[in-house]
Amino acid sequence: MPPETAALATVVALALLFAYTNGFHDAANSIATSITTRALAPRVAVAMAAVMNLVGAFLGEGVARTIGANLIAPLPGTHGLLVLFAALVGAIVWNVFTWFRGIPASASQALVGGMVGAALVSASTVDWGGVVHSFVLPMALSPLAGGLLGYLLMLAIMWAFRNAAPRRLGREFRLAQSVSAAAMALGNGLQDAQKTMGVVVLALVTTGYQSSYDVPGWVVVAAAVAMSLGTATGGWRIMRTLGRRVIHLDPARGFAAEATVSVITYATSFVWQVPISSTHTVTAAIVGVGATRRLSAVRWGVAGDIVLIWLLTVPGSAAVAAGVYLLCATAYPPALALLGP
């Protein structure tokens, strides 16, 4: 096998490993609220999320093109693969670290942070305009939208059902959560699987195996299966943080949070075709719906710790990726020579 082909296969395998870690890291996004409110049994919720993640991955590729074409431009050949290798290692390390700590960090931020960090210490180009418009703005605005829309939707539900019997209302919204949780899991697969697809396509373009940023069918299937398998493992550590530590949710608030995230995910995937963090958005939505009870009902200390990790994710994963790139480039003379004087 030619060295460049072997390097490409390594990057593709690492991208699928990232998709797997993304799946078990972000499983909590899809099912934490429905498990906490007892709308779904844990095993049923995990199975549903895995299946819907798998289906969602086949519904679009606009976000994949954005990830592949609008953020960085690695030099062609093996050097570009080295950049992507380092970026994926940085993202995977951050995913595993935050999962181990039970912190709902953003796998999407970790991936883009790794790509930018590796590109900055190499001879690659960072498209800062693309980074700002295709990454920074969506990542900043989606949690704000999640918190605000979640708050407003919950106010509307409280007003519409103000005269309903609490016990009956709880039963009805537990049933409704079965639908909203499935919709959110579908959107999670739609968004997050495409990020892996985008990296694989960028690797294929970098090595000249294809000239466009269209996503081949085998890439869609591989990314979908890898992420779905990751989701099937659960992600229980992060689930406890989202479902219980931020605020105690009831079925109505669980439904409002899930519906809010679903709307935002579909709009950003189909209309604007930009990546967002489902982790950020669902956490903000949970805070928003919880604030309708009373502001003190939200455990702001836990929320503050989550925000701190959000702020550290991009520089943290970028630093890991930059270190991995420099270490590999030092051990690989052809790539080191491309760095220039």
CA distance linking residue 224 with residue 196, whole number of Å: 9
What pLDDT is recorded for position 238? Answer: 66
What pLDDT is recorded for position 340? Answer: 44
Boundaries of every domain in the chain: 3-330
pTM score of the predicted model: 0.93
Sign of the CA dihedral with 67 first, then 69, 73, and 79 last: positive
What pLDDT is recorded for position 296? Answer: 65
What pLDDT is recorded for position 110? Answer: 96
Q: Both tokens of residue 195?
A: 């990020």
Name residues of the chain where pLDDT drops below 50.
243, 338-341
Among 16, 334, 39, 3, smallest CA distance to 178 is for 39
What pLDDT is recorded for position 38? Answer: 84
DSSP states along 82-141:
HHHHHHHHHHHHHHHHHHHTT----HHHHHHHHHHHHHHTTTPEE-HHHHIIIIIHHHHH
DSSP states along 130-149:
HHIIIIIHHHHHHHHHHHHH
Q: Where are the alpha helices (DSSP H) in the chain?
A: 3-36, 42-56, 62-69, 78-100, 107-120, 128-131, 137-160, 166-206, 217-232, 236-240, 251-266, 278-290, 300-331, 333-337
CA distance linking residue 30 with residue 150, whole number of Å: 16
What pLDDT is recorded for position 317? Answer: 97
What pLDDT is recorded for position 332? Answer: 65
**Per-residue pLDDT reduced to its tens digit, 107-142:** 999 999 999 999 999 989 999 999 999 999 999 999
Coil/strand/helix, residue 265: helix
What pLDDT is recorded for position 262? Answer: 96
